[in-house]
A and B are shown apart, each in its own frame.
Chain A
Amino acid sequence: MKPTDIGAPEYFHKVVDCQWACPAHTPVPEYIRLIAQGRYSDAYMVNWESNVFPGILGRTCDRPCEPACRRGRVEENQGEKPEPVAICRLKRVAADYKDDIRARLPRPAAKKNGKRVACVGAGPASLTVARDLAPLGYHVTVFDADPRAGGMIRTQIPRFRLPESVIDEEVGYILDLGVDFRPNHRVESLKDLLGQGYDAVFVGSGAPRGRDLELPGRAEAARHVHVGIEWLASVSFGHVTQVGRRVIVLGGGNTAMDCCRTARRLGGEDVKVIVRSGFEEMKASPWEKEDAMHEGIPILNFLVPLAFTHEDGRLTGMRFQKVKAVRDGRGRRSLVPTGEPDPHFECDEVLVAVGQENAFPWIERDAGLDFDEHGMPVLDAVTLQSTAPGVFFGGDAALGPKNIIWAVAHGHEAAISIDRYCHGEDVSVRPPPLTTLVSQKMGIHEWIYDNQIVPDARNRVPLKELTIALKDLRQEVELGFDPELAWKEAQRCLNCDVQTVFAPRLCIECDACVDICPMDCITFTADGEEAEVRARLSAPARDLSQDLYVGAGLATGRIMAKDEDVCLHCGLCAERCPTGAWDMKKFYLEMAHAGPGCRAGAAPREERAGAPA
C-alpha cells in the first residue's frame, strides 16, 4: 500500500469526523475543549468564525456532525445505547455563557474598496456573504421582502425553539458591520437589479413555496386547510393566533413537526401527524419526532390522504387509505393498499406540510442565466457561480430546501467567489484551508489535552415543564445545559483532532502500541493490497469510509497499518512507545474566508495569521 500522505489537509480532516461532516467545517473538538475549560467566549468565537450563528445553530442546527461523531461508533456493542456527543447543544452553551464578545468582532471597514454587492434575501446565506465581504470594504446591500432580517430563521422556526432575542443578537452582529439592509423591499426584477451597476449579485432568496395537496374537497374546505410554511409565517408575524381544537398535520418532515407543536400551543388539544409512509422513513430528524411525541402528539403512519371531508363549507375531517410497504423482486419499496376500509379522522383544521419548492418569479428567463429542467439555476457546485458570471447563488435558492448550516457554508464559498471575481481573478481557483499540526506533549506522559476516556452516556438537555411550555408560544422548551452538565458532556468528546502521528524511522517494532491500544487499531503486518490488508488486521477494518493510516520504512520491511475507524485518541500508543515513534499532535483546520489571503499574490500559508495552538 502507499504510505499515507499526512501532509494532505484532507487526511487528518477526515479523521475529525464531526468537522468533516459539518458543511462549514467548524472545528468542533476545539470548541468543546474550550467549553470544558470554561472559556465560553473563545468557544463562541471559534464557532462564529466558521458558522456565523452559534446561538441560533446551537438550538436549531440539523447537526450532520452528530451522526458522523466517532463516539457513536466506539460505543457500539458495549452495553449502553451508542450515542454521539451532544455537539449541537454544546454550541449553545458557548453562546449562553459567553461574555460580551462585540469587541472581538470585525469592525465596519474604515475604508471602502469601491465595490458594490447586492444580496437578494436576508436569510443566513446572504447574511454570511455580507459578514465576509463588508469588513473587507465592500458596500453590501441586502434586500428582503420581510420587515426584519433573518429569512426563514425568523419567519419559520417557531419561537419555542429559538427565542427572537438570539436572532436579533446574531443577525445584529452582521448588520452592524456597515451592511446596507433594505427591509420591506421585494426585488421584482433581476434585470432591473443588474442594471443598477452592482459589481456582483448574490441570490439568497430561499425556497419560499410550500407544496399544496390537490385532493377532493380542498377548495370547499379551503378556509380550514393551510400550507404549513405560510401558516407558520403567519403565526410568526402574529396574523394567526389560534387554531381549531382538532388538528391534522400532513407530512413527515421538520416543517410538519414545527406545525404540530405550534398548533399545540395555539389551542390545539387533539393534534396528530399523519404520514403516508413508515415512521422510520420520515424526513424529520429523530429528535424532532421525539420532541413532538413528548408533547402528546401521536404520529400515525402508512396512511395516504384521499379527500378532505366537509359540510356546508366547513371542514369535517379527512379520509385516508391504509397502505403497507412491500418490496418487489429488485428490493424496491412501494406502498400498496391493505384492503382495509378507509379510515376517517375528524378535525377542525389541516396543516399541509408535504414539501417545499423553489420559485424565482422575479428572475426573468432572459436575464442572462440558465435554468435546468427542474427550474433550478445552473451553477458550478463549488464556486456557486451561475452562467451569468457576476451572479452567484447560495442557500436554499441554490440547491433546494436544505438547512441553515448549508446556507452558511454556501455563503462563505460564494463570498470567496465574489471577492475573486471582483478582483478580476479566476473564481475556479480555490484557496486551501489553513492547517496546523502541533505536538501536544508536555511531559513524559502529560499532554496538553485531557486524554482520559470517560464511560458516560450522553447527557440529556433539561426541558421546561410541559404544562408551562405548552401555554405560551414564546416559552423556549429547552433550558440548555448548565455549565456543570456542559462540562460532563464535553468530557465525552474524544478529541479526534488530536492525531496519532507515526514516525516509521523511530519505530523499533516492539509492539507496545499494539498491545496497549484498547481498540485494536494498530497492526504491524506484511504489505499487500488494501482490501486484503484490511481483512487481516488486529481487528478487521470493515468501514471503508474510514482510512487506513499506513507507515512504511520499518526495519523488518513490514508496514504499520492503523485503522482510523474507532481510535479513541487516548494517546496510550504514544505513552507506551519507547522511542516517540507515535506522537499526539493537534490538527487545526480553518476554512479559508474571503479576503486578500484568498487572492493571487497571497502570502504562503505559514506566514498567515496562525490558528490557536
Chain B
Amino acid sequence: MTYLAKPKLHHPELPVNALGFTRRDYEGTISTLCAGCGHDSISAAIIQACWELAIQPHRVAKLSGIGCSSKTPTYFLDKSHGFNSVHGRMPSVLTGANLANRDLIYLGVSGDGDSASIGLGQFAHSMRRGVNMTYIVENNGVYGLTKGQFSATADRGSKSKRGALNTDEGIDLAILALQLGASFVARSFSGDKAQLVPLIKGALNHPGAAFLDVISPCVAFNNHEGSTRSYDYVRHHNEAVNFLDVITGKEELTAQYGPGSVQEVRSHDGSLLRLRKISEDYDSSSRIAAMSYVQSRYAHGEIVTGLLYVEPEAGDLHESLGTTARPLNELGEKELCPGQAALEKFNAGLR
C-alpha cells in the first residue's frame, strides 16, 4: 500500500461538471488494496461515472459487506454516506435504508464471496424485490481478503495459485440476477473503462434493481496461468456484445451508425440509452434470450460482456409496497400520528 496522501494538485486543464466539481472531487482516500488490484479500476470508473452524471455526492449512499471489494467505498465519493456492513449482509441494510429514504441514490458494492457465498440469499431477495439500487459485484473468483480461497463464482476447473483445481460449479450472478427479475443486468471488466463507465452510469440512472457483475482480477491470488479471472484470460475470452452510450438531458445526438446496429432505449426520466451493437443478433430487451446467449457462449469458454438486459420502465419495491412518496425523515407529526379516527379505520381493516 501507499503511505502518502494523493497530492491535491491536479491537471491544470481538468474539466468541471455541471456542479462545478472536477473528477478529483469525487475521490476518496488513497487505496490500501494491493497495487494493480482490479477493484481500484472499478473505483476509478465509479468516480468517473458519478462525475459525468454530475451527481451531488451527498445524495449518494454507499453500502458494502466485507472483503477487499467491500473496502473500496472508502476510496471513492468521500463526501457521500457510507455503511460498511457485515459479511454478506449489504443487501438487507441497503433495502432498509432505501425504504426509509427513497430519495438517495443507493450504490451497493460487494464481492463474489460476499454476494455469492455467504450472502447469496440476501443477494437473491434484494433482486427479486426490485430494490432501486446499483449493485456492483467486483468478481475476482476468490476471497481476496482472506488470502485467495476459491469463491462460489470460481469456474469449475480453474486452478488456484497453489495449483489446486476447483471442482465445484461456479455461480453466474448475472444469470441469477436475470432469473430473479433484476431490470438492468450487465457484465463488464475492470480493465475496460470505455465499456464499464457508461454501464455504471446507466445503472445509476436506472429506476429499479440494476446489477453489474464486473470481472476484476485479484493480482495477489488469482492472476496466474490456469485462472479464469486473470487479466490475460479475460482479455482473450471477452466477448463484448454491445457498447453503451448514456445520454442525459439535452445533449445533441450527433453520432451516426449503420442501420440495425443501434438500439435506443428511452427511460421515463427522459434519458436515453444507446446501445451500439457489436454482436448483430444480440437483443438486450429479452430476458430469456439474454440468459440463453450468455450460457451458450459460456459453454464455448467465452465471457459475454455488455448490457445484457434492460427493462426501461421497471418499477421498484416502493411501487409494489405502495409506500409514501416522501422519505420517512421528512414526515411530520401530522403524518406519523394521523389521529384516533385513522387508527380506528386501520384496525377495522385488520378484522
Report whether over half of chain A's contact residues are helix, strand or loop; otherwise say mixed: loop
- The listed residue (A508, A511, A555) touching B44 by CB distance below 8 A is A511
Binds B, one of A27-35, A134-142, A374-382, A513-521: A513-521
Q: Is A566 an interface residue (CB 8 A)?
A: yes
Is A510 touching B217 in the complex (CB atoms < 8 A)?
A: yes
Please tell me if the beta carbons of B8 and A572 are within 8 angstroms of each other in the complex: no
Once the chains are docked, how many angstroms separate the CA of A518 from the CA of B3? 15
By the criterion CB–CB under 8 Å, are A453 and B7 in contact?
A: yes
Pick out which of these stretches binds chain A: B32-40, B90-98, B262-270, B335-343: B32-40
Partner of A578, one of B2, B11, B34: B34
Interface check A177, CB cutoff 8 A: no
Binds B, one of A6-14, A69-77, A293-301, A357-365: A69-77
Contacts of A510 in B (CB 8 A): 36-38, 41, 191, 217, 219, 231
Instruction: Please tell me if A576 contacts chain B, counting CB pairs below 8 Å.
Output: yes
Report whether B235 and A555 are in contact in the complex, using a CB–CB cutoff of 8 Å: yes
What residues of chain A lie closer than 8 Å to B193, measured between beta carbons? Answer: 511
Contacts of A578 in B (CB 8 A): 34-37, 219
Q: Which residues of B contact A579 (CB under 8 A)?
A: 36
B237 within 8 A of partner (CB): no
Residue A338 at the chain B interface, CB threshold 8 Å: no
Known: A445-B1, A556-B235, A575-B2. A512 touches B35 (CB 8 A): yes
> Does B9 lie within 8 Å of A575, measured CB to CB?
no
- Produce 1/0 per residue, A64-86, CB < 8 A to B: 00000000011111100000000
Whether B9 and A74, one on each chain, are in contact in the complex, defined by CB atoms closer than 8 angstroms, is: yes
CB <8 Å contact, A572 and B12: no
Q: B12 touching A76 by the CB < 8 A rule?
A: yes
Contact B10 A518 (CB under 8 A): yes
User: Pick the contact of B37 from A451, A512, A542, A555 — CB < 8 Å?
Assistant: A512
Known A515-B40, A576-B36: A520·B11 in contact at CB below 8 Å: yes
Any B CB within 8 A of the CB of A603: no
B58 at the interface (CB under 8 A from A): no
Decide: A78 and B36 in contact? CB cutoff 8 A. Answer: no
Determine the distance from Cα of A74 to Cα of B8 in the docked complex, in whole angstroms: 11
Instruction: Assess the B7–A570 pair: CB atoms within 8 A.
Output: yes
Nearest residue, chain A, Cβ from B219: A578
Q: Does chain A have a CB within 8 A of B319?
A: no
Residue of B12, B44, B231 near A77 (CB, 8 A) is B12
B10: which of A78, A516, A556, A575 is its contact (CB, 8 Å)?
A: A78
Is A566 touching B231 in the complex (CB atoms < 8 A)? no
A539 near B34 with CB under 8 A, answer no
Give the CA-CA distance A227 to B301 in the complex, in Å. 88
Contact at A516–B191, with CB atoms within 8 Å?
no
Q: How far is the CA of A601 from the CA of B276 in the complex (A)?
A: 66
B232 at the interface (CB under 8 A from A): yes
Interface assignment of A455: CB less than 8 Å from any CB of chain B: yes
Q: Which residue of B lies closest to A574 (CB)?
A: B35
B6: contacting residue among A76, A516, A520, CB under 8 A: A516
- A453–B10 CA distance with the chains assembled, in angstroms: 12
Asked if B14 is at the interface of the complex by the 8 Å CB criterion, the answer is: yes
B4 beta carbon closer than 8 Å to chain A: yes
For residue A509, CB closer than 8 A to chain B, the reply is yes
A540 pairs with B4, CB closer than 8 A = no
In the complex, A568 has a CB within 8 A of chain B: yes
- Given A445-B1, A510-B219, check contact A518 B7 (CB 8 Å): yes
CB distance from A353 to the nearest CB of B (A): 38
CB-nearest residue of chain A to B24:
A518
Report the Cα distance A280→B295, complex, angstroms: 71
From A515, A519, A539, residue with most partner B Cβ within 10 Å: A515
| A56 nearest CB across to chain B (Å) | 34
Kindly state the separation between the CA atoms of A74 and B217 in the bound complex, as whole angstroms.
34
Q: In whole Å, how far is B184's beta carbon from the nearest beta carbon of chain A?
A: 25
Identify A78's interface contact among B9, B37, B235, CB under 8 A: B9
Q: Chain B CB within 10 Å — which of A77, A452, A508 has the most?
A: A508
The 0/1 profile, CB within 8 Å of A marked 1, for residues 1-28 of chain B is: 1111011111111100000000010000
B40: chain A residues within 8 A (beta carbon):
512, 515-516, 576
Kindly state the separation between the CA atoms of A556 and B40 in the bound complex, as whole angstroms: 20
Shortest C-beta distance, A580 to chain B (Å), equals 10
Q: Is the Cβ of A455 less than 8 Å from the Cβ of B13?
A: no
Q: How many Å lie between the Cα of A508 and that of B11 in the bound state?
A: 25
- Partner of A566 from the list B12, B36, B37 (CB cut-off 8 Å) is B12
A-side contacts of B34, CB under 8 Å: 578
Q: How far is the CA of A540 from the CA of B13 in the complex (A)?
A: 8
Q: Are A539 and B3 in contact (CB-based, < 8 A)?
A: no
Question: Contact between B232 and A555 (Cβ–Cβ < 8 Å)?
Answer: yes
Q: Are A455 and B8 in contact (CB under 8 A)?
A: yes
Q: Is the CB of A445 within 8 A of B3?
A: yes
- CA–CA, A575 and B11, complex, Å: 20
Bound-state Cα–Cα, A77 to B13, Å: 8
Interface residues of A in 493-538 (CB under 8 A from B): 508-512, 514-516, 518-520
Does A577 belong to the interface (CB within 8 Å)?
Answer: yes
Asked if A512 meets B41 with Cβ closer than 8 Å, knowing A568-B7, A572-B6, A578-B219, the reply is yes
Q: How far is the CA of A518 from the CA of B7 in the complex (A)?
A: 7
Top-10 shortest CB links A-B: A578-B36, A453-B7, A76-B12, A515-B44, A510-B36, A539-B11, A77-B12, A578-B35, A575-B2, A576-B35
Please, could you name 22 A-B residue pairs with CB atoms under 8 Å apart, sorted by A? A74-B9, A78-B10, A445-B2, A453-B7, A508-B219, A508-B232, A510-B191, A512-B35, A515-B40, A515-B44, A516-B2, A516-B31, A539-B14, A555-B235, A572-B2, A575-B2, A576-B31, A576-B36, A576-B40, A578-B36, A578-B37, A579-B36
Q: CB within 8 Å of B: which residues of A?
A: 73-78, 445, 451-453, 455, 508-512, 514-516, 518-520, 539-540, 542, 555-556, 566, 568, 570, 572, 575-579
Q: 10 other contacts beyond A512-B36, A512-B41, A515-B44, with CB at 8 A cut-off?
A: A75-B9, A510-B37, A510-B231, A515-B41, A518-B10, A518-B24, A519-B9, A519-B10, A520-B14, A576-B2
